[in-house]
């Protein structure tokens, strides 16, 4: 599949909003994406092909990176896009001096958990009732960059 992973720009927002609405029960809004692009601690990437195929957003503060969201449009899944975006986000966070990258995931979200485990993340804890619509625990997954070059 032909796509490039590039920093998200204002031109990507409308398609990213549509993808959020397909992928999440509590989607990030257009205003939310606009705020993210203005936030100097925010690093959003898109997989840009014939349209926005997927995106990942990371917040980096004081040497800690946090994956705010990651999604791939349903018809483009299982083609390596999620993994490629996650690798780019990890590489960027490490190069900017972060020591680890972390996230929460619904405990029922088997595809995402499989992706994180394949990419070297390990379970680090559980946040009770972290999610709404429906209420569900969030499992914390973390990857430390120690020893990686």
Contacts with ligand COA by CB under 6 A lie at 23, 70-72, 77-83, 105, 109-112, 114-115, 118
Half-sphere exposure of 44 (CA within 13 A, CB side): 26
Question: Token digits for 34?
Answer: 């606009």
Q: In the complex, what is the shortest distance from the CB of residue 101 to ligand COA, in angstroms, rounded to a whole number? A: 13
Does the annotation count 66 as an active-site position? no
The least CB distance from residue 87 to ligand COA, in Å, is 9
Q: Strand pairing partners for 4?
A: 48
Q: Quick one: 18 or 77, whose CB is closer to ligand COA? A: 77
Q: Which is nearer to ligand COA, 38 or 128 (CB)?
A: 128
The residue annotated as part of the active site, out of 3, 55, 76, 116, is 116
| Known catalytic residue at 44 | no
Catalytic residue among 104, 131, 141, 144: 104
Nearest distance from C-beta of residue 57 to ligand COA, angstroms: 11
Length, in residues, of the chain? 149
- With left for phi above 0 and alpha for psi between -120 and 50, is residue 18 left, alpha or beta? alpha
Nearest residue to the partner ligand COA, using Cβ: 82
Q: Is 102 or 109 the residue whose CB approaches ligand COA more closely?
A: 109
Residue 76 Cα distances to 3, 51, 62, 73, 145, angstroms: 11, 11, 34, 6, 29
What gap in Å lies between CA 139 and CA 105, rounded to an integer? Answer: 5
Active site residues: 104, 116
């Amino acid at each position: 599949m032909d796509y490039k992973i590039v920093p998200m720009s204002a031109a990507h927002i409308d398609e990213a909003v549509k993808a959020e609405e397909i992928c999440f029960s509590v989607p990030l809004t257009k205003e939310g994406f606009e705020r993210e692009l203005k936030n100097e601690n925010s690093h959003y990437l898109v997989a840009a092909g014939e349209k926005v195929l997927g995106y990942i957003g990371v917040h980096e503060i004081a040497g800690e990176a946090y994956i705010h969201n990651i999604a791939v449009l349903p018809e483009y899944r299982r083609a390596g896009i999620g993994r490629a975006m996650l690798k780019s986000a990890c590489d960027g966070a490490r190069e900017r001096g972060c020591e680890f990258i972390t996230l929460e995931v619904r405990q029922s979200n088997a595809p995402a958990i499989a992706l994180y485990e394949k990419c070297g993340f390990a379970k680090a804890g559980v946040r009770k009732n972290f999610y709404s619509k429906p209420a569900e625990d969030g499992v914390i997954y973390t990857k430390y960059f120690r020893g990686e070059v």
